[in-house]
A and B are shown apart, each in its own frame.
Chain A
């Protein structure tokens, strides 16, 4: 292919902030790109167009609270990514990297096998509520986070604990059952009655769910926090601290973002995090960018990777500021033209 024939493609959705701020960055840099809208996939464009191109893949824009419907959409999304993976192109993140990180179980196993500090998996696949209790008893772990293996953000996450002797339970979740279906809400509640908790966990486990140990997170101003580190192209590009009164810090649950400088992390702590991100992203071939969620353990402030997201680059603190994340991505893609 002739050098000048190469084009930059963004597979995304024109209604999203991801698109508009990527576009803004492109305008400011004087770089052209073509948007391939997810809504027109297999209608006005097919995977063949990617051949020989320079490609960034954003996730489709879904506002779906029903878990059953979300599962179908995810399946469609994964098959699309697999199809893109057959095309020779230069990707910011290859479809394979995105797929590997969408699979939280696979991603955690990769990190564990490489000896990278990550929150420990207690049950790799939870069958149902009873199975979870049994596994927790056997592993002598009384506090876990349940997570759909394919899910994003706080969707379907349950902070669950069960007292090993008294059997007292608590479940922190934004999930609710309505008319037999599981729904996400934006309100975190704490349930303590097994009769309330069991149906939600049983319903959630109809999806593919894993359980990992619940660590006490560090605090700032009496609120818990963890960090979303955007690591791309060999460095920590941007860090956002996510604060919460409850155990789930995800910003979709009306939690607050915090300028991480307020945490006054030491130089060595930042270096440790950077090294952790470097090692973690190096486990995934052709990974040029990842949103790495990191918790600092209460007390020691030791960093642990909670999970990684191959498309975790939407950071409002950045796009409303210098928009540096998308600019750097465009510069990198443009360097191949």
Chain B
């Protein structure tokens, strides 16, 4: 069983003490359990809405030999009470890829000031990449599009909305799916989007559909339109075992259509549209 540990400061640690982003890695290094860990989860590093994660990344890079056994890293595991996701100041991960060649799973929460790499991402062992945010910047999508990740099996992205950092369009999602090269990808999550039906269309048009075992289109504005697109093309998803569509705006009829498919389907947590001045609003989950 993999051994995981969470490192997180609470309000008093940094408000009344002297803890912050600059002390986080020193505290991890001082932990006698570090050599036995497989996974490190870094939660709140203090004023996460003021201090970026850069000091943490830099310190990991400086001490890379001490982290050489870590297979899974999550940076920014905070809930909304600790810090709104759009307020978390992320950082520049350029040097991390070389510093942690053994890393298999990387999860990042927050997209403000997030730079995955100044150049091309190259990593031979990464199996899963997850970015949780209220809005994914276009340049981050482009970094992933151009990345060289030959062993990537799972890609999980929260697309989000414009107000929280998504400055792209459906064309950027289409390009990501067309131009990227992840030969082992079996789990694709393009979630939390206000254009979820269009995302569904982009996925059914993509080269990845035949190999996907899990398709996650959850937490967004998926409607019956998206359901029809998926159902029309479901036979082309030859390896698909599970469709995650929880948190959605699908009708009862639409849910029945999905549930009638010969794969497992999650359609929990149906949402109601908001109407304001004759306009219909469907808010993704991580934006309200």
Residues of A bordering B, CB below 8 Å: 140, 142-143, 161, 163-165, 168, 170, 189-190, 192, 213-217, 219, 224, 247, 297-300
Q: Are A216 and B288 in contact (CB under 8 A)?
A: no
B118 at the interface (CB under 8 A from A): no
Classify chain B's interface size.
Answer: 10 to 19
18 contacts between A and B (CB under 8 A): A142-B49, A163-B87, A164-B49, A165-B50, A168-B86, A215-B81, A216-B10, A216-B11, A216-B79, A216-B81, A217-B81, A219-B79, A224-B79, A224-B81, A247-B80, A298-B81, A299-B43, A300-B10
The residue of chain B having its C-beta at the shortest distance from the C-beta of A224 within the complex is B81
A224–B8 CA distance with the chains assembled, in angstroms: 17
Are A297 and B79 interface neighbours, CB within 8 A?
no
Contacts of A215 in B (CB 8 A): 11, 81
Smallest beta-carbon distance A319→chain B, Å? 30
* Chain B interface main SS type: loop
Which one of A163, A213, A247, A300 lies within 8 Å of B49 (CB-CB)?
A163
Q: 1/0 per residue B1-39: CB within 8 Å of A? A: 000000010110001000000000000000000000000
- Whole-angstrom distance from the CB of B64 to the nearest CB of chain A? 28
Chain B residues near A170: list those with CB within 8 A: 84
Contacts of B80 in A (CB 8 A): 247
Q: B86: nearest residue on chain A (CB-CB)?
A: A168
- Chain B residues near A192 (CB-CB < 8 A): 163
- Does A189 contact B288, Cβ atoms closer than 8 Å? yes
Residues of B within 8 A of A216 (CB): 10-11, 44, 79, 81-82
What's the Cα separation between A87 and B87 when bound, in Å? 55
**Are the C-beta atoms of A298 and B82 separated by less than 8 Å?**
yes
Residue of A nearest to B82 (CB): A216
Nearest A residue to B87 via CB reads: A163
Chain A neighbourhood of B288, CB < 8 A: 189-190
* Chain B contacts for A190, CB-based, 8 A: 288
**CB-defined contacts of A224 to chain B, threshold 8 Å:** 79, 81
B84/A161 in contact, CB under 8 A = yes
Q: How far, in whole Å, are A224 and B80 apart by their CA atoms in the complex?
A: 10
Q: Which of chain B's residues has its CB closest to A191's CB?
A: B288
B10–A298 touching, CB < 8 Å: yes
- Nearest-neighbour CB distance to chain B for A186, whole angstroms, equals 14
How far apart sit A168 and B112, CA to CA, in the bound complex (Å)?
13
Q: Provide the bound-state CA to CA distance between A190 and B84, in Å.
A: 12
- In the complex, what's the smallest C-beta–C-beta distance from B242 to chain A, in angstroms? 20
Contact A164 B50, beta carbon cutoff 8 Å? yes
Smallest Cβ distance from A10 to chain B, in angstroms?
Answer: 39
Instruction: State A192–B44 Cα separation when bound (angstroms).
Output: 22
Minimum C-beta distance from A117 to chain B (A) = 11
Contact partner of A297 among B10, B15, B84, B86, CB < 8 A? B10
B10 and chain A: residue at smallest CB distance: A299
Q: Which residues of B contact A297 (CB under 8 A)?
A: 10
Query: For residue B43, which residue of chain A has the nearest CB?
Result: A299
Cβ–Cβ contact A214 & B81, under 8 A: yes
Residues of B within 8 A of A299 (CB): 8, 10, 43
Residues of B within 8 A of A165 (CB): 50
A163–B86 alpha-carbon span in the complex (Å):
11
Q: How far is the CA of A165 from the CA of B10 in the complex (A)?
A: 21
A98 to chain B, nearest CB (A): 31
**B49-89 interface with A by 8 A CB criterion:** 49-50, 79-82, 84, 86-87
